[in-house]
Amino acid sequence: MNLHHSDLKGGVAIEDHGIIGDLRTVALVGYEGTIDWLCFPYFDSPSLFAALLDPDKGGYWRVSPVPNHVQKRQFYWPDTNVLVTRFYTPNGVGELIDLMPLGRGAKAEGREVLRRIRVVRGEMAFRMECFPAFNYARDEHETHIVEGGAAFLSKNLSMQLVTNVPLQRDKGGVVAHFTLRESQSAVFTLREGGKEGCHHHLHTHDSAEKLFRDTVDYWRHWLSKCKYTGRWREMVQRSALALKLMTFEPSGAIIAAPTCSLPESAGGTRNWDYRYCWLRDAAFTVYAFIRIGFNEEAAAFMRWVEKRCADHGDGPLPLMFRLDGSPVPPEEQLKHLRGYGGARPVRIGNAAAHQLQLDIYGELMDSVYLSNKYAAPISYDFWRHLRRLVDWVCDHWQMEDEGIWEIRGSRRHFVYSKLMCWVAVDRAIRLADKRSLPADRAKWLKTRDAIFEEIMDRGWCQEKGAFIQAYGNDALDAANLLMPLVFFLSPVDPRMLSTLDVIRKPPRNGGLTSDGLVFRYQADQKLDGIEGSEGTFNLCSFWLVEAMTRASTVRPDLLDEARLIFERMQGYANHLGLYAEQTGLSGEALGNFPQALTHLSLISAAYNLDRTLGRHD
C-alpha cells in the first residue's frame, strides 16, 4: 500500500505492519510475513529481531510462499489482536496466523510467539527463515539444530525455535523448505530456552488450534467490556485493542510505542526511543479508557502512578520510567545499524528522561482527579504524596523548562507548561474540596489565579490573535488546543475561537494545518535544537477535532468541519487501523509505531464528536 518501498533498500514501510503481543512485548509483522521487530522478553528489552532498523544486520523471522511475489492481504481476526496474512497464488491460498498466546492455554504453555501456516486450497511451497540478532545485533550467538527444532544461544538470552518441520543451519540462523496441501499446516513457535527440552514444546495441529481459539476468546472477552456504541465503533475498538497491546500487565504501565528510532522525517535525525512509560500519558490514558468502559486498565495504571509518586523524594518528578519503575537507561547511538530507510542515528535509551517538563504535573493530577471521580477514590497516603508535588509546583511553576515536545535547545517559558501547572493546582483544589482533604488552600488558590493571569497576559499575542508557544516568541503551538479540553478557557471564549482560526490556517498563511492534518509546531532548529523537519502530528489533528467540536455550540460550521477532519484522518490509518506518531507529506507513516497517544486521542475525539453529533442528528 506504500509507494516508497524502493527507498527502504529491502525493508518494509512502517505502515505495512501489524502487531501481535502478550501484554509484555510486541512483535511487528510485515505484510509479506516477516517479523522484523521483536524485543524480548519485554517491551524495553534489547531486540531479538530488528530488520526494521537494518534489513541486513537486524535479524528477522519470515514465513512466506515460494515464490514470494504473490498477492497478499493482511487483516486481524475480527475483534482480536490475532493477525492473519493471506497469500493468493494460481496454485492455492495460504494463510499465516500470527499470535502470542493468551487465555487459558497460554498459562500452561508459557510465553511464545506462535506462527501457523496452512493451505486453505490447492498446494503451495513455503520457505521459513529465522535469523535472530541478539541485543540489537551486538551479541554473537551459537545456532544448534536439536530434536524438535533449533536453539539460539547468546550470553544473556537463549531462544528455541520449536517445530517438526526439518531445519537446516544457514550461517547464524536456520531455514526450512516445505510443501503443504489443502487442510495441512505447519507450526513454528519461538520461546525462551536452551538446547534441552525443545521437543517437549512441539505443537500438533490440534494444540495450535486450541491456542488460537483460546487467544481469540481472550481478546473477544476483553473487548466485550467496551461500552462505546457510537459512530466509527470499529476504529475506536481497534484503537482500544492496540492500546491494550501496549499495556505491561504485570505493573499496569503503558508504553508510548513499542519501537525505537523510527524517523519523524524520511532519512532524518529525529529518531527516539519510545519504549518507556511517560507520566504525560496518564490523563489521556485514564480518560480514554474510562470513557469507553475499561476501568480496570485505568485503575491499574493509577496504581503504577501511585507507586512512582510514593518512591519519589524531593525535587522534580521524573517524567518517564522503565516498565518496572526504574530510571530510563542513558541514551546511546547504535552506529552499526543503518537505520530505517537510512535514517540515522539509531538511538536507544532517552536523554529526555532528565529534562524538566512542568506539564507532567497537570496531566498527572488530571488523571488522579478523573480516576477518583469515575473509578475508585484515592487513598490518604496517595494524597499526601500528591500534596507534596502540588506544593512543589506552586513554588516552581515560574521556571523555564523543555516542555511537552521535549526540545533539545534552551529552556523557555512554554505556555502549555504553564497551562498544565494551572491544571495541576486546579485539580488538586477540586479534589481536596470534593473529598474534604487537608491542603494549603489559600496558597493553592493564590497560585492558580496567578498562573491564569500570567498566561492571559504573556501567553496571548494580540497581533497574531492567538495563544503562542512561549513567552516572547509568537510561534504557534498545537498543544494550546487543549485549553478548552482541560477547562482552562471556555471553548467559545473569543480568544480560543481566534486561536482555533489561526491554527486552522495552512502553514504558508501562518497556521499549522494542512488539509485537516496539524503540525505540532513549525520545526525550527533554532527553537527545538534538533536538525531536520517532521510530518503532521496525529495527536494534534485529533486535538483539533475535539476543540472544534466543543466550540461548535456557537459556531455550528465547525461541527461539520470537525467531522470531515476526523473522517479524513481515518484514511491515514494503515490497512489494519493503526497509526504511527506522524503522517508524512506523501501520506506515509512517520515516527514510532503504533503510537499510544494517537490512539488515545482518537478515542477521545470520537467520543466527544459522536456525542455532539448525536444531539444534532
The tens digit of pLDDT for each residue in 43-63 reads: 999 999 999 999 999 999 999
Q: Would you place residue 107 in the very low, low, confident or very high pLDDT band (cuts 50, 70, 90)?
A: low
Residue 528: predicted pLDDT: 65
Residue 10 has pLDDT above 70, yes or no: no
| For the chain, percent of residues with pLDDT exceeding 90 | 87
Does 6 score more than 50 pLDDT? no
Q: What angle do CA 17, 213, 19 make, to 5 degrees?
A: 15
Q: Check whether 329 has a pLDDT greater than 50.
A: yes
| Averaged confidence pLDDT in the chain | 94
What's the N-to-C CA distance of the chain in angstroms?
A: 35
Query: According to the model, what pLDDT value does residue 109 have?
Result: 62
Mean pLDDT of 131-154: 98
pLDDT at residue 526 in the model: 60
CB 553 within 8 A of CB 492: yes
Instruction: Please list the residues that pair with 87 across neighbouring strands.
Output: 72, 94
Q: Which residue type sits at 482? A: L
Q: What is the mean pLDDT of residues 142-169?
A: 97
Strand 332-333 to 347-348 pairing:
antiparallel
* Lowest mean per-residue pLDDT among 64-73, 124-133, 337-346, 455-464: 64-73
Query: What is the rounded average pLDDT of the residues 209-213?
Result: 96
In this predicted structure, what is the pLDDT of residue 566? 98
Q: Quote the pLDDT of residue 7.
A: 47
Asked whether the bond before 507 is cis by omega within 30 degrees of 0, the reply is no
Q: Which has more confidence, 567 or 314?
A: 567
Whole-number Å distance between alpha carbons of 387 and 367: 15
User: What is the reported pLDDT for 98?
Assistant: 98
CA separation for the pair 360, 140 (Å, rounded): 41
Residue 481 has pLDDT above 70, yes or no: yes
pLDDT at residue 1, as a whole number: 35
* CA 592 distance to own-chain centroid: 7
User: Region 534-554: what's the mean pLDDT?
Assistant: 96
Q: For 380, which DSSP code?
A: H
Rounded Cα distance between 120 and 49, Å, is 29
Handedness of CA 30, 36, 39, 43 (dihedral sign): negative
Percent of the chain with pLDDT over 70: 96
The answer to whether the beta carbons of residues 116 and 97 sit under 8 Å apart is yes
Residue 616 binned pLDDT confidence (cut-offs 50, 70, 90) = low
Under a CB-based contact definition with an 8 Å cutoff, are residues 447 and 500 in contact?
A: no
- How much is the pLDDT for 182? 95
Cβ atoms of residues 224 and 108 within 8 Å:
no
- Which distant-in-sequence residues (6+ apart) come within 8 Å of 55 by Cβ? 8, 9, 10, 11, 36
pLDDT at 263 over 50: yes
pLDDT of residue 8: 59
Q: Cell 505502515 sits at which residue? A: 15
- For 125, the enclosing helix (H) or strand (E) is strand 113-131
Q: What are residue 416's phi and psi, to 5 degrees?
A: -65, -35
Burial of 503 (0-12, 13-18, 19+ CB in 10 A): buried
